[in-house]
């Protein structure tokens, strides 16, 4: 299979999990732009990747409006030859379309950056500090607390 291989609608429906009505609607609104050959549509490998991402986002509660906004925003900041849905890791919390690139997370709908915290590591550090503080005498604690004032 090459990137120039095209797939008919029945295969695309099976592979992506989209319904026939969803697929027709997404083509109608221009979310996906398959090749039209006579009366049938043929989908590229990139189209299939995009459809799988869109279907997964929809199945996880993200509205089509937010998906479209996210795709539009990503297309504005990425080079034309890159299809953002094929290039980035994209997921949702049901409220936002979150993209990850090079270990950085950002909202595709608002383009705000997210910070990722390792909560287990943070909790372990806090417990270690608490343990060290419990071993100190009151005079040492007073000296430490007055440093910041």
The CATH number of the domain holding residue 27 is 1.10.1660.10
Pairwise CA distance, residues 25 & 46, whole Å: 18
Q: Is residue 6 part of a domain?
A: yes
Query: What are the phi and psi torsion angles at 30 (to 5°)?
Result: 85, 10
Q: Does residue 101 come out as left (phi exceeding 0), alpha (psi in the -120 to 50 range) or beta?
A: beta
Q: Which tens digit of pLDDT belongs to each residue from 64-105?
A: 999 999 988 888 887 766 666 777 888 898 999 988 887 788
* Domain count across the chain: 1
113 neighbors 105 (Cβ within 8 angstroms): yes
Q: Is residue 7 part of a domain?
A: yes
pTM, 2 dp? 0.69
Q: Is residue 107 part of a domain?
A: no
Structure tokens at 42: 């043929």
Structure tokens at 139: 């005079």
Residues 6+ apart with CB under 8 A from 131: none
Average pLDDT over residues 39-65: 93
């Amino acid at each position: 299979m090459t990137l120039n291989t095209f797939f008919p609608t029945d295969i695309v429906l099976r592979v992506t999990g989209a319904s026939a009505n969803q697929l027709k609607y997404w083509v109608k609104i221009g979310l996906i732009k398959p090749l039209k050959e006579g009366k049938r549509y043929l989908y590229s490998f990139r189209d299939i990747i995009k459809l799988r991402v869109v279907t997964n986002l929809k199945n996880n509660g993200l509205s089509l409006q937010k998906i479209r906004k996210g795709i539009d925003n990503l297309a504005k900041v990425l080079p034309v030859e890159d299809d953002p849905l094929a290039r980035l890791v994209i997921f949702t919390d049901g409220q936002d379309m979150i993209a990850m690139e090079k270990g950085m997370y950002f909202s595709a709908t608002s383009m705000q950056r997210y910070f990722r915290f390792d909560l287990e590591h943070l909790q372990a550090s806090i417990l270690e500090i608490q343990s060290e503080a419990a071993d100190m005498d009151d005079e040492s604690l007073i000296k430490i607390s007055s440093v910041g004032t």
